[in-house]
Structure 1
C-alpha cells in the first residue's frame, strides 16, 4: 500500500466541552440500559446536542466523521449511496437506530441502511459504539452501532427554525412542541436541496438531490408509573446520478435518477416499578425505491420490517441488574425490473420471520462493572443461532480500564437469499472482536487508548463458483474471511476559552479469502484521524477549525486500484445575536481538496454555508 505519514498530532476525542465532566455525568443508552460511561466496557463516542450545533453538519455522515475509526464512503455527492465503516468492518456491519428502532431496508442488496439518505434532522444525541453488540440488538451490529436520539420538548410551548445554505445548496428546518405535567409532543419538518456536484468525477453535469422529511412524536404519562410513547417519521427523496450508457458502457454523465420514500412508526408502553421497568413496543418501517436508467429500464423495490418487542430491566440489588427481552420480526422484500422489452415482469415477493430472546447480567464488583450477555435467534431462513458477549470496566486511580470480547452477526439479506443471484443455503456472517483500553481522566479532559482485533468468517460476497446452472452471471456465497486489528488514540482537553478534541486510528486489515490472502480490505485506510479546535472569543462569538485525514486505501479486493489519501479542512464561526437568535457559517473543504472515497465518483469541493437559527418562542 502507498503510505504517507499522518500530519495530525494524536489526540483528542469527539466530545464537547460539556462532556468533559466525570464519566458518571455522561450517560450511555445504546447498551439498552442507561449507564454512566465509567460502567461501559466498550468504546463509545458521544455527540451531544452541543456537538451537533457546533459542527453545523446537515448530513449524519458528516457528523459521524468526528468519531474515531470511522470512515465514510460515498458513491457521489450528497444523496448518493453512502456507508460507514467502523474499524474497517463491512458496509452492512454497522447498525443504525433511530430512537431504538432499526433503520434497515430489507430491499437493499445487503439489507442495511443507506447512510446517504439520513440527514441530521432533529437529532439531539448520537452514540457510536465501536465493536459488536449483536447480543442486545441482533443482526447488523457486527462492527458497530450508531444510535440516534431525537430532540425533545422542554417548555410548555416552543418553536425553532433554522435556514442555511449558499448558491446551489441549502436546508431549512423547523420544529414546534410543548410539555406539560402529563403530555410532551414535538413536530418537526426539514427540506434539503443540493445540485452542485456530478456523480461521475469526470462529468460536467450537476446531479441534484432533494429531500423532505416530517416527524411527529408524543409521550403521555397515563399514570405516575405508566407512559405511552409514539412517533412516526416520513421522508421523500429524489437524487440524480450517472451510469454506464450504451454503446461504450463506460461510467459517464447520464440522466438517470431515483426516488425513495421511507416511513417509520412505533408505539411503546412503558411501565416503571420499584425494581426497574418493562417496555412493550411495536414498530413498522417501509422503504419504497424507484430507479430510472438511461436505457429505459427501471428497478422498483419495497422493503419492510414489522416487529414486536418486550424488554425488561430489573434491579436485583444496587450492584446487580438483569435485562432481557423477546422479539419477533418479519422482514419483507418486493422487487421488479420493468423494461421496454419486459414492461410488466412478475415481481419477486419474499419474507423472513425471526424470533429472538436475549438477556444480560450486569454486576458491580467493588468499583468494577462486569456485563455478560447472550442471544438466541430462530429464523425461517437460516435456523437457530446463539451468540455471547462479555465486558468489564474498572476505575484504577485516575484511569478507567475497559475490555470486551464478543460475537457479532450479520444475517444474509433477502436479496442475497432469494434474488436471481441468491443462494438459499447462506449462513449468517459471524465475527469475534476482542478489545481493551484505558482512559486517563483529568479535571479538564481525558486521554484514551484502545486496541482491538476482529476475525470475521462466512462473509457473504458475489462470485461464480457453486452457483446454480441458471445463475450464469454469478451468485452470492459464504466465501470470504477477514481479520482486522488496530490502535485508537482519543482525547479531549479544555484550557481557558480553548477546547481541543480529536482522534487517531491505525488499522491493519487483512483478507483471508481464497486467492486474496494477505490483501488489505477494500476502503479500509491504515491511518485516519481528526482534530477539532474551538475558541470562544466572547460569550457571543465562537470560532472553530476542523482537520480530517484519511490515509491511502484500496478500492477493490485485489488491491489494484488505489484511493489516494486526502486531508480536509473545515472552518466555522457562530455569533449569538441574543438568547433567541444565532447566526453561523462554515467553509467545508476550505482547501478545495479533490478526492475520492470510491473510484471515479465525485465529491464536493470547497463550499460556503451561511445560516441562521431562531427560537421563535
Structure 2
C-alpha cells in the first residue's frame, strides 16, 4: 500500500453523534434557561439596533428573516481570542472540529451541516481555496487579525452569495480608520507562545488608509493525541486598505492581505501506516486582493469590483515525498441596490468566477512529476425584492448559475420578519448549494459529472426584545440531496484507493435558544441548541451525521468592577457525537471554562489576561487528535496616537 492511500483514507473520515445522559440534558437546559431568563427582571440603558451587512445591504437585524449572530469590536476585545475559530464557538449552533492544536486543519459546522457548507467572507471576498479537498476554507489558518466585526448567519444564503453558503455564512469585516492619524500596538503571550500586532491609519483629504501587521507563534500540542512532542505553528500577516473619494458620490476602494504560515503535524509513516509522532510539516501562503468602484446616487448605489485570491500549500512527509497545491480564484462582480420607493428595495447583480487548482506530488522515486492543472468558470445572475408591508419585511431572492462543470442551476429563497409588540417574528425557506470541488471532480480520486450538493432549509422563530436585551428561539429543518462523499464502490479500475460520489441525502432538525442581556455592570450572553440529524445514504440509513452533537451551548458573563477593571468567565458545553459515518467511534462530550480580565491602565493603555480551558479538560474534536489543555495569556495594548 502506498503512503498516499492511508493519507486519503484519513482525510475523508466521517463522524457523527450520540445522546447524552439524562442528567446532562437537565443540567444544560437548566443552565441555559437561567442564563437567558435571569436578566428579564432587570433594567438597563436601551440597547441600540444591530445592523448586519452579510445580506449584501446594511439592514437592521429586525428586518432580517434569518437567524444572525454578531460579534462586534467590543465582543472581540472582550473575548481576546487570537484565532477566529475560538471566537466562532461563542455563536449558537456552531461546533468546531480541529485536527490538533492551533494551525491544524479545522472546520466549523453550523446546525450540523458539512464542513464545506459554510462560506467565509473577508470584506465581502470569499476565502475559499479551490485546491482544498472540498474547495472550502481551512479555518485553522485564520487568525483574528484586524477584524472589527464578525457576522454569522445560520442557514442558506446561496441566492445572494452562490456556492458554499448552504449551511451558513461567516462574514468578517476589518477595521476602518476613524481619525486623521491613529496607531495601535499589542503584545501578548506566555509559556505556550505569543503574538505581536501593530496597526496604523489616517485620513488626508479624500484619502483614507490603514496598515496592519501581525506575527504569532504557538508551541501548540502534539497533533497525535498520544504524542510526546509539540507541533509548532507560526504565522505572519500583513494587510493594507485604502479608499479615495474621487467625487462626492464616487469612491474607489482597495485592499490586499497576505499571510505566511508554517505548521508541524503528525502522520502515518511506513511500514505500519499508524498515526504517530512524525517530523512532517507544511507551509502555506495566502493572498487576497480586491478593488472596487462605488457609485452612490439618489435612489441607491452600484458597485463594480474585481478580486483575486491565491493559496499555495507545500506539505513535507516523513518518507521524503511532498504535496504541492495551488488554488486561485479570480472574480468580477457588479452589484446594484435600488430603492424603488420608501417600502420597496431591489437588489441584484451579475458575477463571474474562475477557480483554478494545480497539484503536484514530487517524491524521491519521482522527483519531477507532471503537475495537474484544471479550471472551472461560473457565471451568476442574482436578484432580490424586499417589500415593506405594514411593519413586516418580506424578501424574495433568486439566482441563476451557469458553470462549466455542472451546467445550469436555479435556486430561490423567501423570508419574512415582523415585529409584534415586544416580539420579532421571523421565518425563511430556501435552497442552498455547494458546487463539487475541483479536487472532487478532477483529482486522482475525482469523478467528473458530479452535481452540486443542494439543501432546502426551513426555519422560524421569535425574539423577545426588552430595553436591556433579548431572548430568542428558532426551530429549523434541513434536507440535503446529492451529498458528495469519499467512497470505495463504483470507482474506476485505476482508483484502487477510492473515489468521490454522491451519498444521496441527509436530514437535520433542531431548536436554538439565545439570550443577550446587559444590566448595570453585568453583561450575560447565552445559547443552547438541540440537534437531531439523520444520514439517509445507502448502507447508513438512520445513522447520525458526523461531528453533529445533539446538544451544545454556552454562557459568557462579564462584570465591570470599576470604570477601568472588567472580569469575565465563559463556559462552553459540547455533547457527545460520533466520529465516523457508521457511528462506531464516539467523541465524548466536554466542557471548557475560560476566565478573562481587562484593566485600563490609562486612557491609552490596556492590560489584559485570560486563562483558556481553565479546568484543563482533556477532549477530542476528532479521534486521536490532541487539543490544547490549560493555557495562560498576558497582554498589553496601547493607542500610540
1:314-338: per-residue Cα shift (whole Å, max 9, x none)?
A: 0001100000000000000000111
In the alignment, which residue of structure 1 is the partner of 2:395?
371
SS of the aligned residue for 2:32 comes to: coil
Conserved? CA contact 1:463–1:475, under 8 Å: yes
Residue 27 of structure 2 corresponds to residue 10 of structure 1: no
- Stretches of structure 1 that go unaligned for 5 or more consecutive residues are 14-19
Residue 223 of structure 2 corresponds to residue 199 of structure 1: yes
Conserved? CA contact 1:23–1:38, under 8 Å: no
Q: Please list, as runs of the form range in 1=range in 2, the aligned pairs for 1:368-447 lying within 5 A after superposition.
A: 368-447=392-471
Residue 149 of structure 2 corresponds to residue 120 of structure 1: no
Distance, in Å, in 1 between the alignment partners of 2:519 and 2:438 is: 52
Select 2:303's aligned residue among 262, 273, 279.
279
In the alignment, which residue of structure 1 is the partner of 2:326?
302
The alpha-carbon deviation at position 478 of structure 1 amounts to 1.5
Distance, in Å, in 1 between the alignment partners of 2:184 and 2:126 is: 27
Distance, in Å, in 2 between the alignment partners of 1:263 and 1:186 is: 17
Q: Please list, as runs of the form range in 1=range in 2, the aligned pairs for 1:443-462 lying within 5 A after superposition.
A: 443-462=467-486
Distance, in Å, in 1 between the alignment partners of 2:47 and 2:435 is: 35
In the alignment, which residue of structure 1 is the partner of 2:198?
174
SS of the aligned residue for 2:482 comes to: strand
SS of the aligned residue for 2:219 comes to: strand
Distance, in Å, in 2 between the alignment partners of 1:57 and 1:468 is: 46
SS of the aligned residue for 2:436 comes to: coil
1:155-187: per-residue Cα shift (whole Å, max 9, x none)?
A: 100000001110131111100001244111000
The alpha-carbon deviation at position 480 of structure 1 amounts to 3.3
Distance, in Å, in 1 between the alignment partners of 2:275 and 2:495 is: 25
The alpha-carbon deviation at position 596 of structure 1 amounts to 0.2
Structure-1-length-normalised TM-score: 0.98
The alpha-carbon deviation at position 133 of structure 1 amounts to 0.1
Structure 1 moving runs of 4+ over 6 Å = 20-24
CA RMSD of aligned residues (A): 1.1
Conserved? CA contact 2:47–2:467, under 8 Å: no
In the alignment, which residue of structure 1 is the partner of 2:527?
503
The alpha-carbon deviation at position 23 of structure 1 amounts to 8.0
Q: Please list, as runs of the form range in 1=range in 2, the aligned pairs for 1:29-178 lying within 5 A after superposition.
A: 29-178=53-202
In the alignment, which residue of structure 1 is the partner of 2:578?
554
Distance, in Å, in 2 between the alignment partners of 1:273 and 1:423 is: 48
Distance, in Å, in 1 between the alignment partners of 2:498 and 2:589 is: 33
Distance, in Å, in 2 between the alignment partners of 1:391 and 1:181 is: 42
SS of the aligned residue for 2:293 comes to: strand
Select 2:379's aligned residue among 355, 362, 379.
355
Q: Please list, as runs of the form range in 1=range in 2, the aligned pairs for 1:315-326 lying within 5 A after superposition.
A: 315-326=339-350
Residue 312 of structure 2 corresponds to residue 288 of structure 1: yes
Distance, in Å, in 1 between the alignment partners of 2:156 and 2:243 is: 31
Distance, in Å, in 2 between the alignment partners of 1:589 and 1:24 is: 33
Conserved? CA contact 2:47–2:468, under 8 Å: no
Select 1:570's aligned residue among 594, 605, 611.
594
1:92-120: per-residue Cα shift (whole Å, max 9, x none)?
A: 00000000000000000000000000000
In the alignment, which residue of structure 1 is the partner of 2:11?
none
1:124-145: per-residue Cα shift (whole Å, max 9, x none)?
A: 0000000000000000000000
In the alignment, which residue of structure 2 is the partner of 1:593?
617
1:221-279: per-residue Cα shift (whole Å, max 9, x none)?
A: 11000000000000000000000112221100000000000000000000000000000
Distance, in Å, in 2 between the alignment partners of 1:358 and 1:2 is: 41
With over 3 angstroms needed to count, the CA separation of the structure-2 counterparts of 1:468 and 1:396, relative to structure 1, is: same
Aligned residues: 611
Distance, in Å, in 2 between the alignment partners of 1:190 and 1:136 is: 32
SS of the aligned residue for 1:53 comes to: helix
Conserved? CA contact 1:160–1:175, under 8 Å: yes
SS of the aligned residue for 1:51 comes to: helix
Distance, in Å, in 1 between the alignment partners of 2:598 and 2:432 is: 41
SS of the aligned residue for 1:44 comes to: strand
Distance, in Å, in 2 between the alignment partners of 1:24 and 1:160 is: 27
Distance, in Å, in 2 between the alignment partners of 1:202 and 1:480 is: 36
The alpha-carbon deviation at position 583 of structure 1 amounts to 0.1
- Stretches of structure 2 that go unaligned for 5 or more consecutive residues are 1-17, 37-43
Residue 626 of structure 2 corresponds to residue 602 of structure 1: yes
1:362-411: per-residue Cα shift (whole Å, max 9, x none)?
A: 00000000000000000000000000000000000000000000000000
Select 2:550's aligned residue among 517, 520, 526.
526
Q: Please list, as runs of the form range in 1=range in 2, the aligned pairs for 1:262-277 lying within 5 A after superposition.
A: 262-277=286-301
In the alignment, which residue of structure 1 is the partner of 2:14?
none
1:531-573: per-residue Cα shift (whole Å, max 9, x none)?
A: 0000000000000000000000000000000000000000000
The alpha-carbon deviation at position 21 of structure 1 amounts to 8.0
